[in-house]
Structure 1
Amino acid sequence: MKKILTLVLWMVCVERSSAQDALSVLLAQHLNDSLMLERIDQFRKGGYAKSFDCGTRTREEFIAKAKTYLGTPYQYGGTTTQGMDCSGLIFRTFRDLGLQAPHGAQALARFGQIVLDRDELMPGDVIFFSRTYPTSKLVTHAAFVIEDGQMIHASTSKGVQIVPMDDPYYWNEHYLFGTRIFGVIPEVPIPKDADTPVRLNED
């Protein structure tokens, strides 16, 4: 109870200084979930919304490069064409473009401008999920938003694949936030016109 009160006080202080602070909103959404409050607090202590220099690279380049790994089998901790996990796909794609990103969904989630509203997600945003498997970490799965209401990710059962973004189970129960790392933002949010639900396989 004491820790929850401390987190609430921190949230109030943050909101006073910045009404747009994403983690304060995330905390407010989980006030009745002490486990999530603990995980959010631990994530907060490690830092977030860190800058990431993409140089002259574009979201279009990133999307095109990520697609070259379609069909790559899943391998926990993998970052090669022999096998890769969800964060390994993102790590490898960045590396191919000459950019250094951390390998690990929770580590990746600390970089970029946080986007909480799903309707504001854009192609090029990285999206993160929580509690997709048992762990003490806040972030457990990562995917990359592409075009036409789709995302690319590494599935434990099917490897790297493109899937619709509108699975209600994952979006209602497990979606945390997206992060925007590319500076050029499209004028129109990504359309959500896919109608085939799909269940993610986490890593």
Structure 2
Amino acid sequence: MKTTTTSIYIKLLFLGLLPFVLDSCALFRRKESSETTTTTKRPTSPSRPMVISSREVRKLIDVSRQYLGVPYRTGGIDSKGMDCSGLLFATFKEMGVNIPRRAVQQSGYGKEVKDLDQLRPGDLVFFVTDKGNVAEVNHSGMITEIRGPKEIYFIHASSSKGVREDNLISTYWMGCYATARRPF
């Protein structure tokens, strides 16, 4: 009689632990899409900008400047070639932060900066350079330096000259300027 009671307890214990064992087994876990398996050091989302120190902003800018001179390549995200949103994507990724990949998606990331005189280094700037049928953000960059009200420099990947810094306060860039976002 004692062995029967013991075997019932063992079976109940086994059945009680079975879900935990199966859950920890990779064979029984649900496959996740590649978009959800990417991890970041900080939780980030368009509605919740990350918290970043001024030293980290300087590092972010230094990381982006490592790509100066890299040629333009549509869809590129490395030193062999990159596009404008790829530059931002690669820079933030090196800092351990995932941001959207495309410029139009990046233009919704973080908090809007409404006035140019409120821009700070590290802010993201967005442009509509192709005024075709759809006026959609298609170019992005990051503020690197503010020397004065008429000298606000940003880094971006130019389709004709590769990764470079330009003055935002110019006839061309102000003519296609769309918005700015503070990612932190």
Which bin holds the TM-score, normalised by the shorter protein?
Answer: 0.5 to 0.7
Query: 2:133, 2:47 → 1: CA distance?
Result: 24
1:156 pairs with 2:159: yes
Contact 1:116–1:176 under 8 Å retained in 2: no
Shift of 1:55: 6.0
Segments of 5+ residues of structure 1 without an aligned counterpart are 1-47, 183-203
Contact 2:64–2:91 under 8 Å retained in 1: yes
Segments of 5+ residues of structure 2 without an aligned counterpart are 1-44
Shift of 1:131: 4.1
Contact 1:86–1:143 under 8 Å retained in 2: yes
Counting matched residue pairs gives: 134
Shift of 1:155: 0.4
- CA shift in 2, pair 1:77/1:133, >3 Å: farther
* Matched-pair identity in %: 35
Shift of 1:130: 1.6
Shift of 1:112: 0.8
CA RMSD of aligned residues (A): 2.0
Matched with 2:144 is 146
Kindly name which structure, 1 or 2, has the bigger radius of gyration based on alpha carbons. Answer: 2
Query: 2:133, 2:96 → 1: CA distance?
Result: 32
- 1:163 corresponds to which letter in structure 2? D
Matched with 1:93 is 91
Listed one character per residue, the Cα deviations across residues 133-188 of structure 1 (whole Å, up to 9, x for unaligned) are 536352111011011321100001110011112112321x3111110112xxxxxx
1:51 pairs with 2:48: yes
Query: 1:132, 1:82 → 2: CA distance?
Result: 25
Query: 1:153, 1:55 → 2: CA distance?
Result: 21
Contact 1:132–1:141 under 8 Å retained in 2: no
Shift of 1:97: 1.0
Is the strand fraction higher in 1 or 2?
2
5 Å-filtered alignment, 1:98-177, equals 98-132=96-130, 134=132, 136=134, 138-147=136-145, 148=147, 149-171=152-174, 173-177=175-179
Matched with 1:67 is 65
- CA shift in 2, pair 1:133/1:83, >3 Å: farther
Query: 1:137, 1:54 → 2: CA distance?
Result: 31
Shift of 1:58: 2.1
Matched with 2:17 is none
Query: 1:50, 1:75 → 2: CA distance?
Result: 30
Shift of 1:87: 0.3
SS of 1:58's partner is: helix
